[in-house]
Chains A and B, each alone.
Chain A
Amino acid sequence: MSNALLRMDALKTHFPVRHGVVKAVDGVTLRLEAGETLGLVGESGCGKSTLARTVVRLERPTAGSIVFEGARLDQLEGEALRRVRPRLQMIFQDPYASLNPRRTVFDAIAEPMVAHRITPRREAAAAVFALMEQVGLARRYARKYPHEFSGGQRQRIAIARALSLRPRLLLADEPVSALDVSVQAQILNLLMRLRAEYNLSMVLISHDLAVVRHMARRIAVMYLGKIVEIGPADEVFHRPRHPYSRALVSAIPLVDADTEQRRTRIMLAGDPPSPLNPPQGCAFHPRCPYATAECAQTLPALQACGAEHKAACIRLDAIGNGS
């Protein structure tokens, strides 16, 4: 297990605000093997985007460590950080917000690889055209501006730009959520193809569990800054152990009417609590149908509940495996 590409240990990212501290990421320990895709799911405000932003050091961690290709990412600064950055790239939900509206597609793709001295300027044109072809953009679009493209095409531009730096790790934060269903499939297929061609590792964040299920080998479920369950995608979907994961999986609206009738829906009461004032003990206990008095006191740790499968719930044995 020494070939982990990325390791996080007790990682915390806290934001001071006027009336306290938002513990967006609060003690996350994770590892990602080379070539692996990890799916990260959870509701809005659970800290999944902050976790990804901390890994690429768009946010500064408050505590804990991040080790990427053997280097302590959390301690790097300045030039040293700049040298690592090309190797971990991020793509976002809204590619329009991450593209400069006054730069052509050509410039958007060429600039990072020239700035990071990955491709000499005189070879940039050939490299840009090659990348455009790989992501399915015709060469004749090179001189066009972002507003002239559809959402799906803009996401292709953002992907080409991220790949131009030859990253080892791609963090994709809701890459298809803003796209129409017919375009989503095109972009997901593109990501799968490029992942194989470039031997990319990937962290895929999505609130759409079907998308994550399709793309990822392992899935981590986050709730209020912590990982509450992690395991092989099939396990987490078909035999979720943590009560929150169970509710999440059961809440997915299904098209298949037959399956729909057979499953039992776990309807949660209330909304996710505010990260500014998280509940004591297990953060999920106020909404949990299985909670006992002890859950309000004890902070549960992740414990093994199968091969590669862990869940953070003190009542795992009592509530069974639900299969």
Chain B
Amino acid sequence: MLRVHRLQTRFYTRGGVVRAVEDLSFTVDAGETLGIVGESGSGKSVAMYSLLGLIPSPPGRVDRGEALFAGRDLLRQPERALRAIRGREISMIFQDPMTALNPYLRVGTQVMEPVRIHDGMRPREARERAADALASVGIQDARRRMAMYPHEFSGGMRQRVMIAMALITRPRLLIADEPTTALDVTVQAQILALIKKQQADLGMAMVLITHDMGVIAEACDRVLVMYAGMVMESGPARDIFRKPLHPYTRALMRSRPALRGSGGELYAIPGLPPDLITPITGCPFAPRCDHARDVCREAACALRALEAEHHTACVRVIAGKL
């Protein structure tokens, strides 16, 4: 469905060149969910915005790479062509539905906008489709609610509206950027279940961006672990949780308090995430890694498959030293 090859996105600012995405390759198949996990500054959101032509330029620039979606390279489409793809074949859901919804427009108007614009649907028909879309995401009394404004909805309900709006055109790919981070856990569970159900109904591919390993475990088939604009590890979700093959992934999992915890000292990754302006030689995680040796600092290590579809970028794990 989507094949991204060696994507590189940088921001040319007065303070220097910010290397947001250095080298990113992945694929997503129809009906599959790919999770991208990483901390702030790991490049996970910038990568997705790059695909959709949503990087503010200047200062941002996609310097390299290829993103094949249904035979077309998204990175080389003119703005007009991208506009026809965005919101129709590829939809996006953001973390904060309040900033993504227009506070001045009625909810119904916003939900039917994609089919009005992309499919040229007539108002009456679009209204029907919007009511169906809202009902399918569990909004009761959808017809009456369409006349309301976003502020009259709770956070969970707004996120449902966003989902209805993203799915109304029956996209082939959904990109969800921290879709449940602003929500309470009980509502998060509802929204994740809802997205999964809609995905199954439409046979859609999904890229789910999150910093929460729990959300990944719950909703994803495959996972990419990103750090400083690079992929540290990728593979089937189950394998990554059972047997992480990169010290960064292991450190991330160890630093979370366990629900059956002892209350003792937590494992804390030393140091801070790297400053993306200073060029990094070697593995970007090496300065914070307990297992780093000289070989790690000399040259960056390419991803290598150690097991079927389970890749790591750790030179020491590849050499069998860890």
Contacts and interface: CB of A to CB of B under 8 A. Distances in A.
B184 A180 contact: no
B256 A253 contact: no
Contacts of B261: 210, 213-214
A272 B156 CA distance: 9
B189 interface: yes
A252 B185 contact: yes
A189 B269 CA distance: 12
Contact of B186 (A150, A214, A247, A274): A247
Given A209-B185, A213-B259, A180 B40 contact: yes
Contact of A207 (B155, B185, B255): B185
Interface in A144-167: 150, 152
B257 A214 contact: yes
A214 B268 CA distance: 14
Contacts of A271: 154-157, 187
Interface in B214-242: 214-215, 217-218, 238, 241-242
A22 interface: no
Contact of A253 (B215, B255, B258, B269): B215
Nearest to B38: A180
Interface in B165-205: 184-190, 192-193
A259 to B, nearest CB: 9
Nearest to A150: B272
Nearest to B251: A182
Given A44-B184, A207-B184, A251-B188, A181 B266 contact: no
B141 interface: no
B266 A188 contact: yes
A248 B187 CA distance: 10
A214 to B, nearest CB: 4
A237 interface: yes
Given A43-B184, A207-B184, A209-B259, A181 B214 contact: no
Given A207-B184, A252-B214, A271-B154, A213 B189 contact: no
A297 to B, nearest CB: 24
Interface in A239-270: 247-248, 251-257, 260, 265, 267-268
A260 B185 CA distance: 15
Interface residues of B, number: 43
List 9 A-B pairs, minimum CB-CB distance, nearest first: A253-B214, A214-B257, A43-B184, A182-B269, A185-B255, A180-B39, A185-B268, A251-B189, A185-B266
A253 B37 CA distance: 15
A21 interface: no
B186 A182 contact: no
Given A180-B40, A188-B257, A214-B266, A253 B190 contact: no
A134 B125 CA distance: 65
A46 to B, nearest CB: 9
Given A181-B39, A255-B217, A189 B272 contact: no
A181 B217 contact: no
B73 interface: no
B39 A215 contact: no
Contacts of A152: 272
Contacts of B214: 252-255
B273 interface: yes
Q: Which of B40, B186, B215 has the most CB of A within 10 A?
A: B186
A189 B154 CA distance: 35
B185 A248 contact: yes
28 contacts: A44-B155, A150-B272, A180-B40, A180-B211, A181-B211, A181-B255, A183-B272, A185-B256, A185-B267, A186-B268, A186-B269, A209-B185, A209-B259, A211-B257, A214-B263, A247-B186, A248-B186, A251-B186, A253-B185, A254-B218, A255-B217, A255-B256, A267-B189, A268-B189, A271-B154, A271-B156, A271-B187, A272-B154
A192 interface: yes
B5 to A, nearest CB: 28
A136 B309 CA distance: 41
Contacts of B188: 251, 253
